[in-house]
Amino acid sequence: MGIRAKLFILFKSSRPVNLAMMMLSLLLLRYCLIIPAYQVIYNYTNTFPSHLSKIDFTLIIFAVLLTATLGYYLNDFHDYYIDEKNKPGTNKIRTIFTKKSIQTFYVIGLIINILLGCYLAIKINKPIMGAIFPFSLFTLWHYNHTLKKITWVGNITIAFLSFLVVLTPALFEPDYYTNIAFTLIYALFAFFISWIRELVKDIEDIAGDTIGQRKTLPVVYGIKFSKSIAILLCIVLMAFISMVHYFYFYKNQVFSMWNMLAFFLIPVVALIYLIYSANTSQDARFAQLFCKYYMLIGILSLIPFYYFFIK
């Protein structure tokens, strides 16, 4: 196999669309929430709070994307035979990685994450924050070896890591901690929609997971029960979104709270219908892709939030 073919496999296995969404979310969180919050403080105190430089923030993005990329490689390596059943010919990671090489990649990535974490933690004088990047990569390793095989635990683990990705830029800005609730809202949104998406993906992949003896929710409890849990999580997400809009925008004069609620809740209603009516693997795939597009809507909502309520 030529070098170009190998590079293409690496590129495809890295889930470039997912990486792009992660990078976009980190950039928008910094420049639509964190830096504007500092600007508000500056307007009142005439002192701009200390914050990470653009270079240091770039290192955060690099560490997050490196962790995610290695996690995807680990996932494809361990799911190779299951993917041959679910999506034949799409997973070719074992044509370029041996077990030893994937372990070497992991160790190199872990060392880089430790070094970056320590450097950034020293910069902000918060030693505990140095553990975020190696913790995330270690969790992904443990997830691919053990956690994904445990009912409930695998999905919640990925949802938590999605939550952590969104929260990361705020955690490395100590002067922003008083306003971290705004970032926490987006992090919780990421947690719920990721959990729903992972559950729907398990419904989509039930055939291969059954052969691979994975104890996913659909394998253990059946598709009907799994759909019920996914729909329940959608309802919880709708309640969370409604609570946030009521608390922050009920008396807002810029936008009608009801129009904003409709914009965010109608897609969840559509998602509930897609999950409920999914009778084939292709139906479930469409539902989990819809989750991804809805996540993108959530990320992009940072732009009007900045423009209308902060700027």
The closest of 37, 71, 93, 211 to 154, measured between CA atoms, is 71
DSSP state for residue 48 in the 8-state scheme: P
Q: Taking residues 77-87, what's their average pLDDT? A: 80
pLDDT over threshold 60, residue 269: yes
Chain centre distance of CA 154: 14
pLDDT given for residue 254 in this prediction: 64
pLDDT given for residue 307 in this prediction: 76
∠ CA(302), CA(304), CA(307), 5° rounding?
A: 110
Average pLDDT, the chain: 90
- Among the ranges 74-78, 216-220, 234-238, 305-309, which has the highest mean pLDDT value? 234-238
pLDDT given for residue 253 in this prediction: 61
Q: Are 228 and 102 in contact (CB under 8 A)?
A: no
d(CA 300, CA 309): 15
HSE-CB for 153 with a 13 A CA cutoff: 14
pLDDT over threshold 80, residue 36: yes
pLDDT over threshold 90, residue 195: yes
Q: Taking residues 42-71, what's their average pLDDT? A: 93
pLDDT over threshold 60, residue 309: no
Q: Taking residues 282-303, what's their average pLDDT? A: 93
Tokens 């959608």 sit at which residue? 234
Helix H, strand E, coil C: the string for 229-243 is HHHHHHHHHHHHHHH
The closest of 160, 290, 155, 285 to 229, measured between CA atoms, is 155
HSE-CB for 175 with a 13 A CA cutoff: 17
pLDDT band at 263 (very low <50, low <70, confident <90, very high): confident
pLDDT over threshold 90, residue 105: no
Q: Taking residues 78-91, what's their average pLDDT? A: 79
Enter the tokens of residue 3. 């070098």
DSSP state for residue 171 in the 8-state scheme: H
d(CA 80, CA 213): 14
Q: Are 30 and 76 in contact (CB under 8 A)?
A: no
Q: Taking residues 216-229, what's their average pLDDT? A: 94
pLDDT over threshold 80, residue 196: yes
